[in-house]
Amino acid sequence: LVNTSGQLIGINAAIASQTGSYEGYGFAIPVNLAQKIVNDLIKYGTVKRGLLGVSFPSPATEDQFLIQQGIKPGSIQGAYVTDVQGGSAAASGGIKPGDIIQGINNSKIASSVELSERVARHSPGDELKLSLKRGDKIINTTVTLKAQEAAPEEDKIINATALAAK
């Protein structure tokens, strides 16, 4: 996917078409995310994703969840945190359920989808400056992203055996 200047801006990944032909809604992987993946593969042989360790409602159920919390959908900008994993980067940074993450590295975020994409650009060990809304207060904190824990070798063997059996 290129812009009108011929610069690469994304990699086409899928198309949603009602006719089966090459028309409809196209989906692409942003080039900055693809570049991180390529760099990780060259450097490590695998993709290394930094993990923040928060949960939030899925985009499909977010409005319904916010209504249940007594929040008017569209009244908040950011990602509403529903859970924080123990020992995670978020827990170390003091993030709590109910916080709304509104910014990363001095850039505002509008949604949980944007939060996920921004965190995916980073690697384990990267520091992020987060801006949170907790009640009526704005809190700034710094977190150091953690690495995704590798599955134990036994689990890998069991999973591989289960896949082979299918």
Q: What is the mean pLDDT of residues 122-143?
A: 94
Size of the chain, expressed as the number of residues it contains: 166
The stretch 86-94 carries a mean pLDDT of 94
Q: What is the mean pLDDT of residues 63-80?
A: 86
Distance of CA 95 to the CA centre of its chain: 16
- Predicted confidence (pLDDT) at residue 138 exceeds the cutoff of 90: yes
Q: What average pLDDT does the segment 90-98 reach?
A: 95
- DSSP string over 21-77: SS-SEEEEEEHHHHHHHHHHHHHHSS---EE--EE---TTTHHHHHHHTT--TTS--
